[in-house]
Amino acid sequence: MKKLKFLHSLKFRLFLLMALMGIIPNVVLRAGILASYENRAVSNRSIDVLGQAKMLSNQVITYDYIKDTSVEIINAQLEMLSNIYDGRVLIINSGFQIVKDTYGLDTGKTIISEEVVKSFQGEEITKYDSKNRYIELAIPLKKADSQKSQGVMLVSVSTDSIMLNFDYLKDNAMIIELANLVVILGLALFWSARLVRPFGKLTKYLEEVQTEDEENLMISDYTETEAISNAFNEMWGRMRVIDDSRQEFVSNVSHELKTPLTSMKVLADSLLAQGDAPVELYKEFMGDIAEEIERENKIINDLLSLVKMDKAAGTLNVSAVNINDLLEMIMKRLRPIAEKQNIELVLESFRPVSAEVDEVKLSLALSNLVENAIKYNKPEGWVHVSLNADHKYFFVRVEDSGIGIPEEALEHIYERFFRADKSHSREIGGTGLGLAITRNAVLMHRGAIKAHSKEGEGTIFTVRIPLMYIV
């Protein structure tokens, strides 16, 4: 139901967008054409009337019509101009008195208007009144060699014929626009449905994606849907890897926690089965049980360390720490373990180093590296730890003469519960979590860790951490 609502909403929005994209240009184009037609038609009519009126004004001056309005040839031409353009012509003398009105209504009256005053000053005035639909022209009446106006010819012509054509054009444009609207709406409906179709496929796939036999998503209708498909497949692949890792982690945790318990149960059952078992056997079995309890405790502590780091990723208790002193303390704590195995433990500091770090987490990380170098070493071997720094980072290098790590195992050593040599790890009590804890701690400090190893020839771990903590 939600899928249908989403698709219908998307389809409607696309339809509305495409319809508006088609309709708005039509409306703007129609308005532009009509406005252009009106302006052009009025301009042409004004030019025609002005040309006729100027020729007539010359004859009015020539025949001195302002003083004698009985000149028949001028009267005839005035009437003709009025009839041709469906207009009215007024001849005004220098006293602002109308001496001729082709309508015969205002002859003898006085007229004072802005246009008439300006025309007496020598200006030719053309004005269009769109509301009342007429064009008004004021032409000064003066001799060619004189600057003084003897009078003014005021011509008003109707634009009804222009507006009739305008209305006709407007009606035709509306019909064309309505036809275009029908076509646009049809195309918008078609294309909105077509554009939404891939998203319907995508939604359907996402609903069925939980089935085990589901193939990779590939909707190549458009470049965008193909890019979404590729991104989803990549993300889904990573999620599957994470899910597999989670299942494997849970399985490993269950196995690792169950193994010591199984051993303790076997030992306890053996003792219970022997009611008269000697004290020496009890001591031996209880010692084995204590070792299994210690192993169980170590696994739980390492798991808790990992969980804390995962939960508090990025929440470090940062302070300025003397890294030289920190490494000295770690070496002092681990030296007894090294002496038990006759391992030479050496620390080399090239310079004093102080950095902004979480002392507890960094100490745990470096301790794991040095302790692993001791435990996975050869008899009479050695572990060299060095500290150096530049202007931006400090570097800790842990090198040993131990058993080394197979090349094919190097890329997996930071995985939880991974062991390159499972049998040897069991013997020395490794949990398979130490390097995972170390890597998490280093990454939380925005640092990096690298491992170089060759089986049988030892291992080198290099840790790089910023001197200043990067938020």
Tell me, letter by letter, the H, E, C secondary structure of 42-78.
HHHHHHHHHHHHHHHHHHHHHCCCCCCCCCHHHHHHH
Q: What is the pLDDT of residue 1?
A: 47
Whether 151 and 141 have beta carbons less than 8 Å apart is answered as: yes
pLDDT by 10s per residue, the chain, length 471: 444 454 556 566 666 776 677 677 777 777 888 888 888 888 888 888 888 888 888 888 888 888 888 888 888 888 888 888 888 899 988 888 988 888 888 888 888 888 888 888 888 888 888 888 888 888 888 887 777 888 898 898 888 888 888 788 888 878 887 887 777 777 777 776 666 666 666 666 666 665 555 566 666 665 666 777 777 777 777 777 666 666 666 665 665 566 667 777 877 777 777 767 777 777 877 887 887 787 677 667 766 766 666 555 446 788 999 999 999 999 998 888 888 889 999 999 999 999 999 888 888 889 889 988 998 888 889 999 999 999 999 999 999 998 888 888 777 787 765 555 544 444 444 556 778 878 888 988 899 999 998 888 889 999 999 999 876
φ and ψ at 206, to 5 degrees? -65, -30
Q: Give the span between the Cα atoms of 430 and 422, in whole angstroms.
A: 9
39 half-sphere exposure, CB direction, 13 A CA radius: 6
Whether 56 and 86 have beta carbons less than 8 Å apart is answered as: no
Where b means 16+ CB within 10 Å and e means fewer, 322-335 reads ebbebbeebbeebe
Q: What is the pLDDT of residue 353?
A: 93
Whether 385 and 327 have beta carbons less than 8 Å apart is answered as: yes
Q: What is the pLDDT of residue 426?
A: 47
Collapsing DSSP to helix, strand or coil, 419 comes out as coil
Q: What are the DSSP calls for 331-395, one per residue?
A: HHHHHHHHHHTT-EEEEEESS--EEEE-HHHHHHHHHHHHHHHHHTS-TT-EEEEEEEE-SSEEE
Nearest to 156 by CA among 168, 141, 173, 139: 139
- Cα of 216 vs its chain's centroid, Å: 26
Per-residue DSSP letter, 445: T
Q: Give the span between the Cα atoms of 29 and 24, in whole angstroms.
A: 8
Whether 425 and 417 have beta carbons less than 8 Å apart is answered as: no
Residue ranges per structural domain of the chain: 2-166, 224-310, 315-466
CATH number for the domain formed by residue range(s) 315-466: 3.30.565.10
CATH number for the domain formed by residue range(s) 2-166: 3.30.450.20
Mutual angle of helices 72-84 and 2-62, in 10-degree steps: 170
Nearest to 155 by CA among 141, 138, 140: 138
Q: Give the span between the Cα atoms of 399 and 275, in whole angstroms.
A: 52
Nearest to 225 by CA among 200, 208, 207: 200
Whether 409 and 356 have beta carbons less than 8 Å apart is answered as: no
φ and ψ at 155, to 5 degrees? -115, 130
Residues 6+ apart with CB under 8 A from 89: 53, 78, 81, 82, 100, 101, 102, 153, 154, 155
Q: What is the pLDDT of residue 425?
A: 47
CATH topology of domain 224-310: Helix Hairpins (1.10.287)
